[in-house]
Structure 1
């Protein structure tokens, strides 16, 4: 048995949790694994020097990220955290008291060991596939005037394999799946689509049915533009769709919709059942577009409702606010709160997170 376990670990990578010890969680998250380096800047000089537009997001070569980390470390304090959108949501869910499991991949390097150590310390239930001969993903984030500028290199994350997810799902002692008659959310961040469309397609076609719901996050305008075809297929099957206003506007562009409201109505019309669409817009609040009536009810009429965000005086870092909102919504949804309570309580969670540096709760 030990020899078999060793062979599996060499082929697929060891998990941060001992396989078979944990019962399947109500929320299972799939996403990129990043080691986040967050810097709070007093002025934009460093951004200007490296030709970075404040508030921009994108992907960057690892060497450039490491140069930026070295340069920024000379003048600003660095906060290092496990990162990645879905992993942030997993961590916040844990803080709120809802157990979630995360799937992703890391390289065989020191960054991976650093991440594993932190995840163990925080008791995060993560299955990390180890990819040999590649580096663990990294992200650098600069906070200036509450406006995050963020660039990442996902590294080993893009090599998470279909074989890994199939192996675990089909093993009764290790499976992450609950019976289909029991409530469970399978959550995919948009960033995860890059080079892993086969994994996403497999998840949707084989595991999403009955009370096992799919949740999707648009994640970034450039992801919407680059992955629009795959993203729209996922949205068609999704029960929950999350994104900020800019991301939904990008989706309007690729679908030739004149407004987010028109887009929302169109997505609901194309759906065979209930769907909950949540459009976040920072301090302006959240727009809910849905045909949801009840957990076991068929789709009803379209409801569009705007929620005003709570006022936050001491904003420190808006990074991860959307990830925290998702966690807050899932946490309340699984406690059978009304959809209005879910939205309001999720906004409260996000409002608390932005008073901290990095995506964290006090």
Structure 2
């Protein structure tokens, strides 16, 4: 779910997503254009400038529409990006508590360092933490989180362990904290225990565009999680998806997979 403008760009987004089999449930804001993001890529490194526009106007009322609430009640796994923290904390609270009360999986991504550096946004994240079953982030976001908690000097593994041990509202499962770190192994902490999962390495000349790598990783990870696979397989799928995206310009996948998944 999200919010788009009543414009050509918003309609195209809906059309493309629907064609790919995604059941989009956008709130339409007729008074605000669809959000956009400019990306500058230099030697495979990127910088982003976002204009949230309509994306900043999502309201809890849209989530609570019967047809949308029915989708939430049917879902077994719910994922939210950290960027949504700046938009509708009330929606996050409603969904997170629903998942905890009904023994569903709730996952969240830190998404950007500023989420933990800006006090009002950090508060929303920490208020949500008891309900988060899977927490994702990269090494930069994890370092910002550690600094905001006064954990300077701790290794990435120790930060992941501390986050995994924070109290949970639903005691049916431990929290899983997943930190990616580029070409270095993915770190996963569960119940205070850390595992490392290797990534698929690329030659420097094969790296085209890192934009979307983190989202691709989570997409691959979640694709196996909903199928009941273990953490190792989830990480393998996540790293495969990220590896594929960074070899292409823009957040795109090839029409056919580059190898058979087995």
TM-score category (smaller protein): 0.7 to 0.9
Deviations 1:250-288 (A, max 9, x none): 111111113233333332332233011000111113111
Shift in Å at residue 178 of structure 1? 4.3
2:103 to 190, 200, 211: 211
Structure 1 residues 121 and 344: alpha-carbon distance in aligned structure 2, compared to 1, 3 A threshold: closer
- Find the aligned partners of 2:24 and 2:132 in 1 and give their Cα distance: 23
Structure 1 residues 306 and 156: alpha-carbon distance in aligned structure 2, compared to 1, 3 A threshold: same
Match of 2:129 in 1: 235
Q: Please list, as runs of the form range in 1=range in 2, the aligned pairs for 1:1-362 lying within 5 A after superposition.
A: 103-168=1-66, 175-178=70-73, 184-226=76-118, 227-258=121-152, 259=154, 260-272=156-168, 273=171, 274-291=174-191, 302-313=192-203, 314-362=206-254
- Find the aligned partners of 2:87 and 2:239 in 1 and give their Cα distance: 32
Kept in 2: contact 1:324–1:353 (CA 8 A): yes
CA RMSD of aligned residues (A): 1.9
Query: Considering only CA atoms, is the larger Rg found in Structure 1 or Structure 2?
Result: 1
Aligned to 1:309, the other structure's residue is in SS state coil
- Find the aligned partners of 1:170 and 1:241 in 2 and give their Cα distance: 24
- Find the aligned partners of 1:327 and 1:170 in 2 and give their Cα distance: 22
Q: Which runs of 5+ in 1 are unaligned?
A: 1-102, 292-301
Deviations 1:23-82 (A, max 9, x none): xxxxxxxxxxxxxxxxxxxxxxxxxxxxxxxxxxxxxxxxxxxxxxxxxxxxxxxxxxxx
Kept in 2: contact 1:216–1:234 (CA 8 A): no
- Find the aligned partners of 2:59 and 2:109 in 1 and give their Cα distance: 20
Q: Aligned pairs, how many? A: 244
Deviations 1:287-337 (A, max 9, x none): 11112xxxxxxxxxx221222211123111111111111111111122222
Q: TM-score, normalised by structure 1?
A: 0.64
Q: TM-score, normalised by structure 2?
A: 0.86
Q: Which has the higher contact order (CA 8 A, sep 6+)?
A: 1
- Find the aligned partners of 1:202 and 1:279 in 2 and give their Cα distance: 26
Deviations 1:179-227 (A, max 9, x none): 5xxx711111011111311111121223433431110000011122121
